[in-house]
Amino acid sequence: MRAPALLCLAVLLASGCAAVPYKYGSGIESAKTTPLAPGEPQIERGRPRKFIDGFGHYVAALPSKLMLWNWKIENHNISPETEEKLKRYLEENDLKNVKVRLNQYSPGSEWRRLFRNKAVGAGWRYTLGVISVAMYTSFPGRFFGSLLPWSAGDHYNPYTNTIHLYSDHQATALHEGGHAKDFAPRRFKGTYSFLGAIPLVPLYHEGRATNDVLGYYRDKALIADEKNGIKVLYPAYCTYVAGEGLKWPSMFLVLPSWLGYAVSGGLVIPAHIVARIRAKRMQEPPPAAAPAPVPVSAAVPAPVPAPAAEVPPVP
């Protein structure tokens, strides 16, 4: 437990200055990226379903809410403000063909996007890509969230170039956008995704997305957004550290299901502490100074010209 905890804290302490200066994406999407159909909205929202969304919010998402200590995680009710922040982030990073599904389950559309996405090699799309969409179809994140090993909560799927969002948390939304930005310029997207199966590599992937969000906030001087962001992104990163710490033992041993929660809980506590200390130390930008009043100089009355002398008429 000590080694993962030290690794987690070291990464958190180092991440404070790793995202500046911020570099916006420009022309980074591959020419093979599947464009959105004419008239197709980039962002789509699923219709409210009381039972499905209620189960996802109040039951399936409880472990994630407790780990990240935020009730908005996987609440299945994304606000227009969060949608607008993600939309602006994608626009400013020139990610115009990334599909975004807000609390939407649309397996047919995702299968079509998988088959058409020539930006990922066919070998990867028809193996790992098929598996990813099959899991999305069989274990919908809208219902199960991240509760099951086979389901996924908020995530970006590089095989379909789609962001799936279930949380009304702005930094979480931008974090998934950060993954899309990370994949966009890469030539071998399938290989880059496959490398995530190698122990410790996911920490690199997650670190890049997290740092991109924090760098974006700093570049725009959105201190309040950054404060709220690190309170979730830091502990979220440490859940990945916990997962990587258990990856090797799980290859050789049958580990009890509660062990993952126990290890994650042991790591997210210091992450929450570090995040709140750092947030408290962040300085809000000073308010713009009001323009100084222009002093009104004492008015000096203009001299009144003397009346002209009257010239007598010439006889």
Residues 174 and 164: their CA atoms lie apart, in Å, by: 12
Coil/strand/helix, residue 25: coil
Residues 43 and 223: their CA atoms lie apart, in Å, by: 26
Per-residue pLDDT of the chain (315 residues), as tens digits, is 555 555 565 555 555 544 568 999 999 999 999 999 999 999 999 999 999 999 999 999 999 999 999 999 999 999 999 999 999 999 999 999 999 999 999 999 999 999 999 999 999 999 999 999 999 999 999 999 999 988 999 999 999 999 999 999 999 999 999 999 999 999 999 999 999 999 899 999 999 999 999 999 999 999 999 999 999 999 999 999 998 888 878 777 887 877 888 888 899 999 999 999 999 999 776 666 666 666 655 555 556 665 555 555 555
CB atoms within 10 A of CB 90: 22
Q: Would you say 68 and 76 are in contact if contact means Cβ atoms under 8 Å apart?
A: no
Q: How far is CA 14 from CA 8, 19, 21, 45, 234, in A?
A: 10, 10, 15, 37, 12
Contacts of 116 (CB under 8 A, 6+ apart): 34
